[in-house]
Amino acid sequence: ITRLRPGEKLYEELLMSEEGLTDTSNKKIYIGKPTFISMDKLEKKLNELQALLLEEDIEIVKEKMEEIVPTYSRVDYSKKSRKDLEVAISKDKE
């Protein structure tokens, strides 16, 4: 039987440079300082996003996403080759 041991993680979270990574004594281990947003503010932003979705204007939705998620990056799939899209889709399914 295999299982997690006490204190062992099933997966590792990815950290972004925007989280203010701090070095530790181990060169492979960093401490991240996640961004905080209050639940009220997040709920308000998500309600605004939901209202924009009803307008069906993708550009406005993307602008709101950039406002809500600072690390959000737009991808223009119309400029990607079919092979690039197939690779991206197959990675999403993994």
Asked, for residue 75, whether it belongs to a domain, the answer is yes
Range of the domain at 89: 37-93
Asked, for residue 80, whether it belongs to a domain, the answer is yes
Q: Which residues of 5-39 are buried (b: 16+ CB within 10 A; e: fewer)?
A: eeeeeeeeeeeeeeeeeeeeeeeeeeeeeeeeeee
Supply the pTM of this predicted model.
0.50
Identify the pLDDT of residue 25.
93
What's the structural domain count of the chain? 1
Asked, for residue 5, whether it belongs to a domain, the answer is no
- In tens digits, the chain (94 residues) has pLDDT values of 677 788 777 766 676 666 678 888 998 888 877 778 899 999 999 999 999 989 888 889 889 988 888 777 777 666 655 666 566 556 555 5
Asked, for residue 43, whether it belongs to a domain, the answer is yes
Asked, for residue 42, whether it belongs to a domain, the answer is yes
Asked, for residue 19, whether it belongs to a domain, the answer is no
